Amino acid sequence: MSALATETHSLKKAPSLSALGMTKTFGAFTALGDVSIDVAAGSFHALLGENGAGKSTLVKCIMGFYSPDKGKVMLDGAEVTIRSPRDARAHGIGMVYQHFTLVPCLTAAENLVISRADTPAIINWAKERRTLDAFMETMPFRVALDAPVSSLSAGEKQKLEILKLLYLDQRFMILDEPTSVLTPGEADEMLGLLHGMCDRGEITVLMISHKFREVKTFCDRFSVLRRGRLTGEGDAKSAPVEEMSRMMIGDTEVRERAARAVQAGKPEMLELAGLCAQDDAGLSAIQGVNLKIRGGEIVGIAGVSGNGQSALVEVLAGQRVLTDGEITIRGQLFTPSRGNFDRFKVFGLPEEPLKNATVPRMSVAENIAFRSFDKPPIASLGWWMSKGPMRTRAEELIARYRVKTTSPDAPIETLSGGNVQRAVLARELSGDVDVLIVANPCFGLDFASVADIRSQIMEARNRGAAVLLVSEDLDEILELADRVAVMSGGTIAYVSPIEETDRNIIGQHMAGH
């Protein structure tokens, strides 16, 4: 161990950091409202919250990716100005992102050296190597320095990311869901090491998480965000999981549900039996999903994102190949094809409609015609299209669904998010619907659009459609669903009628309890 390395890397103290009154708005939307957190030196602090609660906005403000509208950051008790990630780095604040930022084809040593701000144009590798070896000596864990990063496991890459921060002398670390890509074993090892380093006062960690178990086992303190507000904080060891869950998911009563007509005893409409599919990398994305949905029923699928919900929706929409299992509608086998979508009256509202349900450069009228362009009155003889009927129908639906657009001929990409979703709703819900597949229909929309779109979905249910609603917003599921199912690890882990469950039970199943 060289004296130099000891001086620069081991004796430095972990800093404390406070964010005071952080506020950030995007247009009319308050992503972060007067949030203050206080992370003591050498503590392992958890930042809890659902998707969209404002966790990433907060850390992006701290890191200088966003400039907050109000609020300040104090480092070791003194106010610091952070205008860019470069400033954050100069102050010794570093972040490990959910998706690794290492260069896969370079070795660990090369990745560390090029990450420095002062890398010379010509690198003296022999000298760098000596410094690196000395540095590694002082670390509580090691990574093979000469192997290309692409050959490292996810856990080793994570370790290397953390080593990188230490190498850059960034002793306040923000970790964004660091265990989401790790196996449970790797995760425990990783968090144990971080915990040890915090205990020894070498680093201070702020970790974004929504896994209660990890927080309870490894963290010292926690803060909870919900809808851009701080809803609670406390001692991670002593606070019960139920309390954390309540702070995270909330216990305020949701606003009045969209009018729900009684639909008892309708026959089963949609049945999913043992569905399996793979993700783009060829790994299992969903395995053995079983679910039955009756006509006039909304089944809400809750779950932490990345547990197979999007693969399930893609399978039903024909965007992903089913490797095993059967979909039946009214007892008949269903395969997603244009003819079958019409014959079985299957409609869909995919998430991010601009990306999944429209052609951004085509006009609103053309986008509204996607379901009907090959049928009368738009098509005659099955192939000749008439613009007149297409436009007439578009104008009628634009008026009925209150889509705000300058003209039916405007490219749909010029519309706001809520109006794109309304245009898609107009296209998918204007006819007879037997099965409706909905995914995060209100993500990123303003309140008026949200209420409008949810009541349209409820109306489709009231008219007798079987609705599968995948949502990351638990409030949305509680407002709309007749039954709730929780997806975890690519399969359905829990199903219950909505009256017989509550947020806490659902939240715990979501978190894998």
Which ranges of 43-175 would DSSP assign to H, the alpha helix? 55-63, 85-90, 108-114, 125-137, 154-167
Per CB under 8 A, 448 contacts other proteins: yes
CB distance 205 to 165 below 8 Å: no
Bond from prior residue into 336 cis (ω within 30 degrees of 0): no
Tokens of 114: 């090029």
Per CB under 8 A, 489 contacts other proteins: no
DSSP letters, 215-272, are HHHH-SEEEEEETTEEEEEEETTTS-HHHHHHHHH--SPPPPPPP----TTPPEEEEE
Beta bridge pairs of residue 93 = 172
* Residue 339 main-chain phi, psi, to 5 deg: -60, -40
Per CB under 8 A, 371 contacts other proteins: yes
Classify strands 379-380 and 324-329 as parallel, antiparallel or unpaired. unpaired
Question: How many Cβ atoms from other residues are within 10 Å of residue 22's Cβ?
Answer: 25
Residue placing its CB nearer to other proteins in the complex, 86 or 255: 255
Show the binding pattern over residues 262-301: x = contacts other proteins (CB under 8 A), - = does not: ----------------------------------------
Show the binding pattern over residues 314-353: x = contacts other proteins (CB under 8 A), - = does not: ---xxx----------------xxxxxx------x-x---
Residue placing its CB nearer to other proteins in the complex, 32 or 412: 412
Tokens of 356: 């999944």
Residue placing its CB nearer to other proteins in the complex, 28 or 259: 28
How distant, in Å, are the alpha carbons of 97, 218, 348, 492 from that of 511?
Answer: 21, 16, 28, 13
Residue placing its CB nearer to other proteins in the complex, 446 or 502: 446
Question: How many Cβ atoms from other residues are within 10 Å of residue 339's Cβ?
Answer: 8
Residue placing its CB nearer to other proteins in the complex, 13 or 387: 387
How distant, in Å, are the alpha carbons of 137, 399, 427, 471 from that of 477?
Answer: 51, 28, 23, 7
- Residues 373, 388, 396, 497: which binds other proteins (CB under 8 A)? 373
Residue placing its CB nearer to other proteins in the complex, 124 or 337: 337
Residue placing its CB nearer to other proteins in the complex, 42 or 441: 441
Per CB under 8 A, 374 contacts other proteins: yes
CB distance 477 to 302 below 8 Å: yes
Residue with token string 């060829």: 282
Q: How far apart are CA 284 and CA 293, in angstroms?
A: 24
Classify strands 204-209 and 44-48 as parallel, antiparallel or unpaired. parallel
- Residues 18, 30, 287, 356: which binds other proteins (CB under 8 A)? 356
Chain positions 221 to 250 lying near other proteins, rule: CB under 8 A, are none
Amino acid in position 205:
V
- Residues 162, 165, 291, 415: which binds other proteins (CB under 8 A)? 415
What's the closest the beta carbon of residue 447 comes to other proteins, in angstroms? 9
- Residues 162, 357, 394, 478: which binds other proteins (CB under 8 A)? 357
Residue placing its CB nearer to other proteins in the complex, 276 or 445: 445
Interface with other proteins by CB under 8 A: which range of 42-50, 81-89, 245-253, 377-385?
377-385
What's the closest the beta carbon of residue 302 comes to other proteins, in angstroms? 23
Interface with other proteins by CB under 8 A: which range of 172-180, 248-256, 272-280, 413-421?
413-421
Q: How far apart are CA 156 and CA 107, in angstroms?
A: 12
Chain positions 82 to 111 lying near other proteins, rule: CB under 8 A, are none
Per CB under 8 A, 405 contacts other proteins: yes
Give Cα 506 distance to the centre of its chain: 17
Q: How far apart are CA 218 and CA 193, in angstroms?
A: 10
Tokens of 101: 């930022």
Per CB under 8 A, 366 contacts other proteins: yes
- Residues 20, 134, 362, 505: which binds other proteins (CB under 8 A)? 362
- Residues 253, 264, 282, 383: which binds other proteins (CB under 8 A)? 383
Q: How many residues bind other proteins (CB under 8 A)?
A: 48
Per CB under 8 A, 476 contacts other proteins: no
Residue placing its CB nearer to other proteins in the complex, 145 or 379: 379
- Residues 237, 407, 432, 497: which binds other proteins (CB under 8 A)? 407
- Residues 179, 309, 419, 488: which binds other proteins (CB under 8 A)? 419
Per CB under 8 A, 382 contacts other proteins: yes
Question: If residue 390 lies in a helix (H) or strand (E), which one and from where to where?
Answer: helix 387-400
Per CB under 8 A, 370 contacts other proteins: yes
Query: Where does this chain bind other proteins (CB under 8 A)?
Result: 28, 317-319, 336-341, 348, 350, 355-363, 366, 369-371, 373-374, 379, 382-385, 395, 398, 404-407, 409-411, 414-416, 418-419, 446, 448
